[in-house]
Amino acid sequence: ISIPGTEVDYPLLALNNNRDGLTRTWDGKKSSAGSIFLECKNQRDFSDFNTLIYGHYMKNGTMFGSLKHYAQPDYLAEHPFVYIVTEDSVRRYEVFSAYEASVVSDTYRLYFEDDARRQSSLDHYVNSAAVDTGIIPEVDDNILTLSTCMGNGTYDTRWVVQAVLEVQFPRT
C-alpha cells in the first residue's frame, strides 16, 4: 500500500486474524507499531464492495499516523490517490471521504443485501466527509476503507479515509 508523498508505503498483510496485525510487523516480529493489514473477512483480491485496511495511528506519522491530515482540503488535494500493488495488478483508488467513524457504523459493514443497502452506505460515507471532494461513488464501485485509531485513547471511534477504485492495471 502506498500514498505518494506520505509516510504510507508499507507491505500490506493478509492474515488469518486481525489480532496478529496489531502486534506484529510484516516479518513476524513483535512490535507495538504492528503492521498494515487487510480485514481478515475481506476477499484478498479486493473484489468486495468495501475492503477494510487497518493500521495503528503513530504520533510520529508512521503507519497510518498521517491519515488524520485528510481532514484538511490542501492535504487531500496533494495526496488524492492510494495505490495497492499485488502480484497481479496495480490498483489506483481516489480518496473521496475522511471522517471520524463509530466502530459500529456502516463504515465497517462488509456484507450488503442489495444495491439499496450499498447506496445507503455510500450516502453515509459521502455525508460524513470532513472535506467535500465532489466524488460520488456508485453501487458497482469498489471502496477502500483505511482505518486507524484516533490516538486519544477512545476505542469506540476510528479515523477513516475512503477511496474509490479509479483504475486497475495488470502488473507486468
The per-residue pLDDT for 94 is 98
Backbone angles phi and psi of 48, in degrees to 5: -65, 155
The per-residue pLDDT for 152 is 65
The per-residue pLDDT for 130 is 94
| Exposure string over 100-136, b if 16+ CB within 10 A, otherwise e | bbeeebbbbbeebeeeeebeebbebbbebbebebebe
Can you give the pTM of this predicted structure?
0.94
Question: How far apart, in whole angstroms, are the C-alpha atoms of residue 62 and residue 172?
Answer: 30
* Mean pLDDT of successive 10-residue stretches along the chain, which has 172 residues: 95 89 87 91 95 92 92 96 95 97 92 94 95 95 94 80 95 78
Q: What is the dihedral of CA 131, 135, 39, 86, to 10 degrees?
A: -120
The per-residue pLDDT for 151 is 64
Question: How far apart, in whole angstroms, are the C-alpha atoms of residue 63 and residue 123?
Answer: 28
The per-residue pLDDT for 155 is 76
Among 125, 112, 127, CA closest to 160: 125
The per-residue pLDDT for 146 is 98
Question: How far apart, in whole angstroms, are the C-alpha atoms of residue 17 and residue 31?
Answer: 17
Sheet of strand 89-102: strand arrangement: 12-14, 36-38, 50-54, 143-149, 157-170, 89-102, 81-85
**Both ends of the chain: CA-CA distance in Å?**
18
The per-residue pLDDT for 63 is 92
The three cell numbers of residue 87 are 502480484
124 and 112 in contact (C-beta within 8 Å)? no
The per-residue pLDDT for 172 is 74
